[in-house]
Amino acid sequence: MKMKRISFIPLRFLALCCFVGAMIITAGCLGQSAQTEDNVQEDNIQTLIVAGPADFDSRIEMKMNVYDVFLDINANGKTIPGHLVSSWNESDDGLTYTFQLNKGIEFHDGTQWNASSAAWFLEWCSQGPRKNDIAFSKISDVSEVDEHTIQVTLKEPYGAFIKSLSSESNSHVIAPTSVEPAWSNDGEIVSFIGTGKFEVENYVKAQSAEFVRHDPASGEGTLIDRISYRVIPDSYASVSALRAGDVDIIGVADHHSTVPYEQIPQMMNDPDIIVEKQSYGRYQVVELNCKEGALSDIRLREAINLGLDRDKMVKELLASAAEPAYSVVSPAYPWASNLAGTEYTYDPEKAKNLLDQAGWVVAGADEIREKDGQKLTLTYIVPQGEANSDSIAVYIQSELKKIGVEVDILVLESGAAGEERQKGNYDMYLHHSWGVPGLPEGPLTGKYHSTWGSWPVSYHDAELDQLIETAIATGADEDYSAAYLYIQEKYACMPLYDIEKIAAYRKAVKGFTFSASIYGLDLSTVSIEP
């Protein structure tokens, strides 16, 4: 197929071009050099230079230095009290939640965090730009009990309501004065005002953002005082900028994998660079059309899963920088522990037998299987921008051909790909699944429930709907495990590998730690050695 010409060679050439362009843009719009010993010592101010692939306002990660989330999470995705809320309780009927707010907190402009601003925030979420979020659409009333207590009443019970309040994307708390008109329940955000450790000093769309520590004393004189965020769209260019010392840290400003895996060994061998990685349970997967076409037959779904050598894939294509995925979600989590022992293992002979049983036999010299005069050809849609998508697509194409399955690769712009997904015009579709905090609910409600999700040809049936609804209602690990085991046994998707988040930074950067959430980012504990 002509799609086999896909390779990393043109990407490296493009990276060089993008790097030159990105550096020119960065220098021109910011008018400042990268971190040097001289500028740190002269001003006694530490500035951390962060590179990311997209506009500050389009990604939540950098915003998490400006805002706090209503509730927090731990590493297993369980909701816990955080900076803003000290505790909560739920009524027996699941309709009323009472939240105790932490005291002594204010927004960057001096507005107090209290029952008035907390109640306004949840009312704004339910009536304003976030009202289409399923959790906020359930809110019927928000009332102030006392100065630091609010009560929320739902229209109907919703088991995932508390978990939704720990979502960085939809539950990061903004000041009532940051919308126009101020304190209006449907106002549009016009400024970045939160309760986080840093406040936004300057923002140039699609180019840069400058942050200053809100309370200088909190830096204790040893931690960074400022953050300078620079947009470098090309991932190879960002690696080059880090190795040249033009930026301090990369890979942290996006929940997508933005550090090329093939570059990791080189960076790990660089004595001036530290590389760390963290799993959030977010898998790169190939979603399957389980409703129409050849893959509506479970035997074919099982066959293509058994025909893929995931170990070889991550070793040869990803420089062993990722872990292969053998199940729809990781059995390491307590809410998916019963998936242990059900992993999809590489077994090409069994895959061929399954295809034989389904009536697909090798008939021609090309060794592609046929049935009733029709070749076994699968359309594989790859949205542009998915990490490592080019090489992975060609690898899957090559592996499945060994068992007699032809794969036509169709690379589409992400919007066009999404339209085809909604229409069900695919057999296979590359997609990154949810990670903490979107687990365990995300894949269940987003893909595998017949009416809640936005994947019309993913695997659906009434029994699975009931399992999902029970899990959401109870929040119990065993109920989530039951739903995921059912999906695993139906071979509903083709898991590929764990999209671990990669952070790479200069050796002089100290104190960086990963957050519990894939969307989280706290740079307030970072310092830079001269």
Tens digits of per-residue pLDDT, 391-400? 899 999 999 9
Q: Are residues 476 and 363 in the same domain?
A: yes
More confident residue, 493 or 24: 493
Q: Are residues 356 and 476 in the same domain?
A: yes
Tokens coding 251: 């890979």
**From CA 234, how far away is CA 28, in angstroms rounded?**
18
Residue 97 lies in a domain: yes
Q: For residue 83, count CB atoms less than 10 angstroms from its CB and return exposed for 0-12, middle for 13-18, buried for 19 or more.
A: middle
User: Side chain identity at 513, as an amino acid letter?
Assistant: T
Distances (CA, A) of 160 to 94, 100, 209, 515: 11, 19, 34, 22
The confidence band for 15, taking pLDDT boundaries of 50, 70 and 90, is very low
Residue 422 lies in a domain: yes
Closest C-alpha among 440, 441, 437 to residue 515 = 437
Mode of pairing for the β-strands spanning 283-288 and 428-432 = antiparallel
Q: Are residues 483 and 368 in the same domain?
A: yes
Residue 197 lies in a domain: no
Residue 472 lies in a domain: yes
Q: Are residues 312 and 171 in the same domain?
A: no
Residue 264 lies in a domain: no
Q: Are residues 296 and 418 in the same domain?
A: yes
pLDDT at residue 405 in the model: 98
**From CA 385, how far away is CA 256, in angstroms rounded?**
10
Of 178, 195, 223, the residue that ends a domain is 178
Question: Tens digit of pLDDT for each residue in 388-434?
Answer: 788 899 999 999 999 999 999 999 998 899 999 999 999 999 998 88
Element of type H or E holding 298: helix 298-306
Of 148, 178, 208, the residue that ends a domain is 178
* Average predicted confidence (pLDDT) for the chain: 90
The total of structural domains in the chain comes to 2
Read off the pLDDT of each residue in 69-75 and give the average, rounded to a whole number: 93
Q: Are residues 486 and 360 in the same domain?
A: yes
CB 506 within 8 A of CB 299: no
Query: What CATH number has the domain bearing residue 473?
Result: 3.10.105.10
Q: Are residues 284 and 414 in the same domain?
A: yes
Q: Are residues 340 and 466 in the same domain?
A: yes
- All residues at 6 or more sequence positions from 397 whose CB lies less than 8 Å from its CB, including other chains: 1, 3, 4, 380, 407, 409
Residue 223 lies in a domain: no
CB 348 within 8 A of CB 402: yes
**From CA 1, how far away is CA 5, in angstroms rounded?**
8
Domain that holds residue 165: 68-178
Residue 286 lies in a domain: yes
Q: Are residues 346 and 462 in the same domain?
A: yes
List own/partner pairs for 272-275 with CB under 8 A and 24 or more apart. 272/245, 272/506, 272/507, 273/242, 273/243, 273/504, 273/505, 273/506, 273/507, 274/504, 274/505, 274/506, 274/507, 274/509, 275/502, 275/503, 275/504
Residue 238 lies in a domain: no
Q: What does residue 506 show for φ and ψ, rounded to 5 degrees?
A: -65, 150
Question: Tens digit of pLDDT for each residue in 267-301?
Answer: 999 999 999 999 999 999 999 999 999 999 999 99
pLDDT at residue 30 in the model: 37
**From CA 97, how far away is CA 88, in angstroms rounded?**
7
Of 127, 146, 178, the residue that ends a domain is 178
Q: Which DSSP state fits 512? A: -
Q: Are residues 166 and 297 in the same domain?
A: no
pLDDT at residue 43 in the model: 59
**From CA 289, how far away is CA 269, in angstroms rounded?**
42
Q: Which of 13-17, 244-248, 355-359, 444-448 has the lowest mean pLDDT?
A: 13-17
Q: What does residue 120 show for φ and ψ, rounded to 5 degrees?
A: -60, -45
